[in-house]
Structure 1
Amino acid sequence: MNYIIRVILVWGLFLIGATGFAQSKIRVVCIGNSITYGSGLANRPQESYSAQLQALLGVGKYEVLNFGVSGATMLKKGNKPYWNTAEYQKALAANPDLVFIKLGTNDSKLINRPMMVDFENDYRDMVRSFVALPSHPKVVLLLPVKAFSEEKFGISGSFLKDSILATIRKLAYEEQLPVLDLYSLFADKEALFADKVHPDAVGAGLIAARLHEFIGTKTKNVNVSDKMKDVAVKESSFYGYEALSFLFNGRDARIVKPKRAAPGMPWIWRARFWGHEPQADIALLERGYHVVYCDVAELFGNKEAVGIWNDFYAYLQKLGLAKKAVLEGMSRGGVYVYNWAAANPSKVACVYADNPVLDLKSWPGGKGIGPGSKKEWSTFLKDYGYQTEEEAAAFSGSPIDKIKEIVKGKYPMLHVCGDMDEVVPIAENTLPFAEKIKRAGGDIRIIHKPEGKHHPHSLPNPQVIVEFILKSSK
C-alpha cells in the first residue's frame, strides 16, 4: 500500500512539473511598459506597482509577476513592440489567472502614429492570446496614466488623452472586458511625476491600491436587459460600458451597466446633462454601480417631474436595483434631485451635487446677484402655473425651502462648488442651504474650488467624490 501511494505521489509531481498547470497560488501578471517595470524608482523590486500590489495581497494566496518592458508599444509595428520581447513569452508561459495590461503610452510617440490604425486590432490580438491560455485568465485593461508633457521621451500627453484612451475603451466595450481608469486617478497628481511621465513610488502605490481594490471587490453577473422585454432598447458604448437607451413614458431614459454588479445592485441617478464630466460615473461603473438617467427637462423639479421620477424609480425596482439611490445633480440638476429627495426621503442613499441650483429665484430668476436666465425663467413660470411676476414672488418650492423634508432622510450630502461661480452664486445657493441643513441636524460637506467658476463641473480626479459615495451607500 505504501509503495502504491509513493508511486501515485511521484507521478503526480511528474505531471505537475511537465504541464505547469498546477499552481497553489492565484497568479497575477502585469503587462506594460517602463511604468510597469518601475523605471526611475530608487528600489524597483519593492516600489514598482506590481511589488506593492504583492505586498498588499500578501504572499499566501497570490503571486504577482512583473513583465514590464521599458519603451514597449502595443503596436506590432511600433518602434519597440511588446510582442517581440522575452517578457511577453514569459507572461504567456506563466499561465496566469489574472492579467493587467497597461500599454499605450509609447504608442503615442510621433514615430508610431502612422501605425495607429492597427492599435485596436493589435490590442485585441494580445487580449485573445491570453484568454486562449489553458488557465483562461481574466484580462483587465488599464488606461495609461496621464502624461504631463507633449515631448518628454517622445510621448504626447494630448494624443494619449484624445486617441489612445478612446480606443482602449472601445475595445473594452466590444470585448466586454473590465477597464480601470488610471488616467483620471492621476489627473491632479503632477507632483508625483518628476520627469512628467513616470510616477514615483507614491504614484506606483496608488496604482497598486487601485488594482488591489479591484481584486478585492465582490461582484456578480447581472443583466438588467433580461427584464426589459417591455421596451425597445438601443445599445451603445458609454466609455467602454454597455448603455441601454429607451423611452420611458415618452421620455429619454438610459441605464448603463457595469461589467459585473456590486452586491445589492447600487446605482447612481444622473439628473441632468447626460455624459457631462462623467469621471465619477465611470469610476462607479468600475466598482459595480449602474448609472441611470430619465429626462425631465425642462420641468424644474415640479410636481410633474417628481411624478415621472417616481414612476421611473418603480421601474428600476422591477429591474432589481437597490432600494436607495445615489443622486447626482449638476447645476439645475440640483433642483431635480433635492425636490425628488424631499418627496422620497427613505429612498435616498446620499446626494452628490455640483454647483447646484437650490433656489430657483436665484437661477433662473436672477432675483439676487446672479444674472439668471430670462428664457429659462419664462419656462419656470409656465411649469409652476404662474401668470405674473407678482405671483411667482410667493414661490416656495425650491430645495432651499424644503430643508425639513430633506433632512428627514438622514442621508449625507456632498457639494462640489466653485467659489467664483458666476451663474449659480454659491452665496445664494449652497452656502445658505448648507447652513439651514446643519441647523436642522443634517449631514452636509462642501468641497470648495477657490478659483472655480460654474464650469467645469466635478473634479479632474473624482476619487474624493467616489469615496464619499462608496462610504455613504455601503
Structure 2
Amino acid sequence: MAIVIPMLIGVLLSHVSAADEPSANRPPIRIVMIGDSTMASYPNPPADRPDLTGWGQVFHEFFEPEVTILNRALSGRSSKSFLAEGAWKKALAEKPDYVFIQFGHNDQPGKGDRATDPNGDFRDNLRRYIRETREARATPILVTPVARRTFQDGKAVTTLTPYAEATLAVASEEKTVVIDLHRASLALYEELGDAASADFSPSVSDRTHFSRKGARAMAKLVAEELAKQTSPLTKHLTK
C-alpha cells in the first residue's frame, strides 16, 4: 500500500492541465501584431500629440506575464505596402505563436499606391498573411479595422465598412478567428456620443488615432471579443 499511494499521486499530478499550472511555469507565448498607425506603438510621440498611443501598444495589459507581445504595426501601412516593404517578412521571422492582423485604413481609395480593392487584392493580401502564418506554425487572428471617431448629425459613422466586411468574409472562408473591432468600436462611439468620447483622441483634430485612454478602450474591446472565441489564447487573458 505504501508503494501504491505514491504511484497514484504521481499519476494524478501528471494529469494536471496547463490551465492549472502557475503562470510562471507555463511556456512563453509570443504574439506578433501587424497593422497600421491605429495599432502601432509610439515611444516618441509628436509634440502636438504627446498622448498618441496605438491600441497594440497597451494590449499587453490584458494578458498574463507569460505572453510576450511584439507590436510590429507601422504607421501609414496598408495590407499591400506592409508586404511590399518587407515588414511582413521581418515580423514573421520573430517566430510568433499568434499573429494579429489589422488593415483597412490605408487600403482605402485616395491612398495612392497603398490602396487596395476590398473585393480584390485586399482579400488576397489577407489570405496570404493567413497562409504564411500557418506555414510558420503560428495561428492567425484577423481584426477588422477600428472605426474612426467621426459623427454626423449626432450618429457615429464610418467609411471602413467594405474593408471590415472583406475581413469578416476572408475569416469565414479561411476558418480563422476574427475580432470585429470595427463593429465594437462603432458601437462604443455610438453609446458614448461625440462629447463623452472626445478624450479618446490625441488631439481635437485627430479622429483616427488614440490617446492612451482611447487606446486602452480599444484594446479592451479586442480582449473582450477574444474572450468570446474558442482560441486557446483566451485562457491567458487577465481582464
Q: Distance in 1 between matches of 2:27 and 2:76?
A: 33
Q: Deviations over 1:94-151 (max 9, x none)?
A: 1111111111111113236974131111211121111110xx222111111112459x
Q: Which residue of 2 aligns with 1:105?
A: 105
Displacement after TM superposition at 1:82 (Å)? 0.4
Judging changes above 3 Å, is the alpha-carbon distance between structure 1 residues 173 and 82 closer, same or farther for their aligned structure 2 residues?
same
Judging changes above 3 Å, is the alpha-carbon distance between structure 1 residues 146 and 212 closer, same or farther for their aligned structure 2 residues?
closer
Judging changes above 3 Å, is the alpha-carbon distance between structure 1 residues 204 and 88 closer, same or farther for their aligned structure 2 residues?
same
Q: Distance in 1 between matches of 2:227 and 2:149?
A: 30
Q: Is it true that 1:65 corresponds to 2:76 in the alignment?
A: no
**Match of 1:197, SS?**
coil
**Match of 1:69, SS?**
coil
Q: Which residue of 2 aligns with 1:359?
A: none
**Match of 2:79, SS?**
coil
Q: Which residue of 2 aligns with 1:87?
A: 87
Q: Deviations over 1:383-435 (max 9, x none)?
A: xxxxxxxxxxxxxxxxxxxxxxxxxxxxxxxxxxxxxxxxxxxxxxxxxxxxx
Q: Which residue of 2 aligns with 1:212?
A: 223
Amino acid at match of 2:29: I
Which of 123, 132, 135 is the aligned partner of 1:120? Answer: 123
Q: Which residue of 1 aligns with 2:12?
A: none
Q: Which residue of 2 aligns with 1:50?
A: 56
Q: Which residue of 2 aligns with 1:139?
A: 140
Judging changes above 3 Å, is the alpha-carbon distance between structure 1 residues 138 and 214 closer, same or farther for their aligned structure 2 residues?
farther
Structure 2 stretches lacking a partner, 5+ long: 1-25, 152-156, 235-239
TM-score for the superposition, normalised by structure 1 = 0.35
Structure 1 stretches lacking a partner, 5+ long: 1-22, 76-80, 151-156, 222-261, 263-474
Q: Mapping of 1:311-330 within 5 angstroms?
A: none
The count of corresponding residues between Structure 1 and Structure 2 is: 183
Q: Distance in 2 between matches of 1:63 and 1:214?
A: 19
Q: Which residue of 1 aligns with 2:23?
A: none
**Match of 2:219, SS?**
helix
Q: Distance in 2 between matches of 1:74 and 1:218?
A: 24
Q: Distance in 2 between matches of 1:131 and 1:220?
A: 15
Amino acid at match of 1:175: E
Judging changes above 3 Å, is the alpha-carbon distance between structure 1 residues 115 and 86 closer, same or farther for their aligned structure 2 residues?
closer
Amino acid at match of 2:71: N
Q: Mapping of 1:20-419 within 5 angstroms?
A: 24-38=27-41, 42=50, 47-59=53-65, 61-75=66-80, 81-110=81-110, 111=112, 115-116=116-117, 117-133=120-136, 136-148=137-149, 158-161=158-161, 163-187=162-186, 188-189=188-189, 190=194, 191=198, 192-193=200-201, 194=203, 195-214=206-225, 219=230
Q: Does the aligned pair in 1 maintain the 2:34–2:99 contact within 8 Å? A: yes
Q: Distance in 1 between matches of 2:62 and 2:215?
A: 13
Q: Distance in 2 between matches of 1:30 and 1:183?
A: 17
Q: Distance in 2 between matches of 1:24 and 1:43?
A: 34
RMSD of equivalent CA atoms: 3.1
Q: Does the aligned pair in 1 maintain the 2:40–2:57 contact within 8 Å? A: no
Judging changes above 3 Å, is the alpha-carbon distance between structure 1 residues 215 and 145 closer, same or farther for their aligned structure 2 residues?
closer
Q: Mapping of 1:429-468 within 5 angstroms?
A: none
Identity %: 25
Amino acid at match of 2:141: V
**Match of 2:72, SS?**
strand
**Match of 1:36, SS?**
coil
Q: Distance in 2 between matches of 1:125 and 1:74?
A: 10
**Match of 1:186, SS?**
helix
Amino acid at match of 1:184: R
Q: Distance in 2 between matches of 1:119 and 1:56?
A: 29
Displacement after TM superposition at 1:37 (Å)? 1.0
Displacement after TM superposition at 1:24 (Å)? 4.3
**Match of 2:147, SS?**
coil
Q: Distance in 2 between matches of 1:54 and 1:139?
A: 18
Q: Distance in 1 between matches of 2:63 and 2:57?
A: 10
Amino acid at match of 2:147: K
Amino acid at match of 1:53: F
Amino acid at match of 2:177: P
TM-score for the superposition, normalised by structure 2 = 0.65
More strand per residue: 1 or 2? Answer: 1
Judging changes above 3 Å, is the alpha-carbon distance between structure 1 residues 43 and 203 closer, same or farther for their aligned structure 2 residues?
closer
Larger Rg: 1
Q: Which residue of 1 aligns with 2:13?
A: none
